[in-house]
Amino acid sequence: MTQIAPITPATGAGAVPLAQDAAAADGLRQDAAHRRDIAALAKGGRTNFFGFLLRLAARLPFLFIAGRLYGADALGRFASALVVIELAAQLCTLGQKRGIAQRLSEDDRHAANIIADGVVLTLLIAVVVSIGLYLVPAPMFPSGEYSWLDRLLVLAICPVALTDIALAALAYRYDVGATVKARSVIEPWTLSIGAGLFYALGRWGGMGLAQASGLSLSYILSIFAALVAAMVPLLRSYGLPRAWTPHPLRIGQLALATMPLAVADAVEWGTRRIDIAILGLFAQPASVGVYYVAQQVASLPQKLKTSFEPILGPVITRNLKEGNLRAIATQVCQVGFWITAAQAGIALALGIPGDGVLGLVGPQFTGGMLALAFLLGAEVCAAPAVVSEAALIYIAPMRNLWVSLATIAIQAVLTIAGMMVARRFAFDEMDQAAAAAGALLVTLLIASFVKSRLLSLYLQQPVRTLRWALVIAGAVAVAVGWGVVTFLPEWAQIALGIPAILGTYCFVIWRLGFGPADRMLFRRQPAPETQDPA
């Protein structure tokens, strides 16, 4: 009877092909995972870009109602209060907007229990902060003009923070549609409709106080509507916690673990709001209102970075867990180029016919044209910093935090110095506002260089988001804009000029700048799995 020799592990020369096969298989697996990640990023970006368009369509009616009906003074007071409210909400999330992806991928407990810990921590902080601001409203209203209804703005702190956490948890499972629905449809349209409704109640219903505080009341209404729109899909996706009770020690450890992220988030947010806070101390509410409108128009391209941020976080954390640093560098460069290209095109389309865009809100708002130009340029300069920070918060959180703190300190110094120089040479308040916007542009340019270099050192890979095609496309769009659009009447600048500039830019960047990987952004891909990326 023939005996079968036992199978033994290959040794010597025979082991080399096996090792090579294993390495090749591992490379193929990483390559396939990278393609899936790019497809997920592209799909999430497309979904949120559609949401950006919806948000644009809803934000403009609000600016029109607020500028034409309420006026620059009321809008300026509302803007100053909103800076404090949104900063407080940002602090109350304690970094969980971006940190929840890492906790969900590393913690083995039931996902709903992990989210519940974050919700309890946020609620505890938000209640204390809201009571404090209600009792001492001076930080919200530096001009001293407000009503008891305006003080109710503190009610928005908790729902803003909880909505951010809920949408971040849904994005971890690639549910970007919930963010679009809550932030781009329900919240802005509720804000616009509410502002018009409260003005009508005050004008024709005899409720003068409602009209005076209509912007504040409509904001509160919109925030609670967005919270409902976020919590319903969250419960459907994750369900209720199981065998969960809040524990002080566990909640405290969570607070300590997320503290660096919380400060980084607050600083990143503060770079876009400290200019309004400082301007509120130097200028009249009307000037603050004009600057706020310019900032709202300029911040529309900024929303594009949030198109990729919810998906980029889980992708980066998974690649970090696998040690695939090359994939992280490739994804950061890819997303950075997408964001920069989109922001540059929208900045040109809104900036060249800027007088017409601001004139829609009201004739007095066209004085913010120079500030608008600087602010739009700042958003383009910020793109490399934004995508680099998306990886640095997981790779080197403390170093990223120190760079962010230095960034906001530089911005504060440059803003105050610019406004003091403008005042010294007797420039008007809108020129002082433009100096604040210029300080933001310089600061974000420095931050982008430093953070992209820092990430490149950690990844040992080049991190570049700029390409020559951007310069060429921008130059052609500027030529079309200044050569044709600026000579058109105001209505034609918006109706004809914006599509002409954007169309020219997109045609050139598509032909010269977009390769096969870039065009995946516009190609339908199979939906990524809805299970946890971990």
Q: What are the DSSP calls for 450-470, one per residue?
A: HHHHHHHHHHTS------HHH
Considering the domain boundaries, does residue 531 fall inside one?
no
Considering the domain boundaries, does residue 66 fall inside one?
yes
What is the rounded CA–CA span in Å between residue 474 and residue 459?
A: 31
Q: Are 500 and 485 in contact (CB under 8 A)?
A: yes
Enumerate the H helices of 205-273 as residue ranges: 208-212, 214-238, 248-270
What is the rounded CA–CA span in Å between residue 527 and residue 392?
A: 28
- Which of 147, 252, 280, 152 minimizes the C-alpha distance to 202? 147
Q: Can you tell me whether residue 198 is helix, strand or coil?
A: helix
CA 240 to the chain's CA centroid = 29
Q: For 356-421, give the DSSP string.
A: HHHHHH-GGGGGGHHHHHHHHHHHHHHHHHHHHHHHHHHH-HHHHHHHHHHHHHHHHHHHHHHHHH
- Judge residue 6's burial from the number of C-beta atoms within 10 Å of its C-beta, 0-12 exposed, 13-18 middle, 19 or more buried: exposed
Enumerate the H helices of 94-156 as residue ranges: 96-106, 111-135
pLDDT at 391: 86
pLDDT at 308: 65
Considering the domain boundaries, does residue 263 fall inside one?
yes
Backbone φ and ψ for 110, nearest 5 degrees, come out as: -60, 135
Instruction: List the pLDDT tens digit at each of the 534 positions of the chain.
Output: 444 444 444 445 454 454 455 555 555 555 555 566 666 566 655 655 666 666 666 777 888 888 888 877 888 888 888 888 988 888 888 777 777 777 777 777 888 888 888 888 889 889 999 999 999 888 888 767 778 888 889 999 999 999 988 988 887 787 777 887 888 789 888 998 988 888 888 777 555 555 667 888 899 999 999 999 999 999 998 888 888 877 777 777 777 777 777 777 777 777 777 777 787 777 777 777 778 777 777 776 666 665 566 667 777 877 887 788 888 888 888 888 888 888 888 888 888 887 777 877 777 777 778 888 888 888 888 888 888 888 888 888 888 888 888 988 998 899 888 888 888 877 777 787 888 888 889 999 999 999 999 999 988 888 888 888 888 988 998 888 887 776 777 777 777 888 888 888 888 888 887 776 666 655 555 444 444 444
**At which residue do the structure tokens 């934004």 appear?**
386
What is the rounded CA–CA span in Å between residue 114 and residue 241?
A: 8
Count of CA atoms in the C-beta half-sphere (13 A) of 386: 29
CA 431 to the chain's CA centroid = 27
What is the rounded CA–CA span in Å between residue 504 and residue 513?
A: 13
Considering the domain boundaries, does residue 71 fall inside one?
yes
What is the rounded CA–CA span in Å between residue 411 and residue 414?
A: 5
Q: Are 317 and 99 in contact (CB under 8 A)?
A: no
Q: Give residue 514's domain range.
A: 30-522
What is the rounded CA–CA span in Å between residue 534 and residue 84?
A: 36
Q: Are 346 and 377 in contact (CB under 8 A)?
A: no
- Judge residue 524's burial from the number of C-beta atoms within 10 Å of its C-beta, 0-12 exposed, 13-18 middle, 19 or more buried: exposed
pLDDT at 209: 58
What is the rounded CA–CA span in Å between residue 445 and residue 456?
A: 17
Considering the domain boundaries, does residue 114 fall inside one?
yes
Q: Give me 214's structure tokens.
A: 């209509």
- Which of 182, 163, 180, 227 minimizes the C-alpha distance to 44? 180
**At which residue do the structure tokens 């946020």 appear?**
122
Question: Cα angle vertex 439, ends 435, 445, to 5°?
Answer: 145
Considering the domain boundaries, does residue 132 fall inside one?
yes
Q: Can you tell me whether residue 204 is helix, strand or coil?
A: helix
Question: Cα angle vertex 53, ends 310, 84, to 5°?
Answer: 60
Considering the domain boundaries, does residue 227 fall inside one?
yes
Helix or strand run (H / E) with residue 33: helix 15-65
Q: Give me 337's structure tokens.
A: 């180029």
- Which of 90, 468, 84, 460 minimizes the C-alpha distance to 267? 90
* Amino acid (one-letter) located at 272: R
- Which of 278, 293, 271 minimizes the C-alpha distance to 423? 278
Question: C-alpha dihedral over 193, 194, 198, 204, to 10 degrees?
Answer: 20
Considering the domain boundaries, does residue 4 fall inside one?
no
Enumerate the H helices of 136-207 as residue ranges: 157-172, 177-179, 187-204
pLDDT at 128: 92
Q: Are 414 and 435 in contact (CB under 8 A)?
A: no
What is the rounded CA–CA span in Å between residue 295 and residue 252?
A: 37
pLDDT at 132: 92
**At which residue do the structure tokens 């009249």 appear?**
284
What is the rounded CA–CA span in Å between residue 473 and residue 507?
A: 8
**What is the model's pTM?**
0.69
Q: Between the CA of residue 145 and those of 77, 97, 211, 279, 285, what are the distances in Å?
A: 8, 33, 15, 16, 10
Q: Can you tell me whether residue 206 is helix, strand or coil?
A: coil
Burial 352-389 (b: 16+ CB within 10 A, else e): bbbbbbbbbbbebbbbbbbbbbbbbbbbbbbbbbbbbb
Looking at the 3D structure of the chain, how many domains does it have?
1
Q: Are 42 and 337 in contact (CB under 8 A)?
A: no
pLDDT at 190: 92
Q: Can you tell me whether residue 273 is helix, strand or coil?
A: coil
What is the rounded CA–CA span in Å between residue 308 and residue 521?
A: 11
- Which of 492, 320, 499, 480 minimizes the C-alpha distance to 392? 320
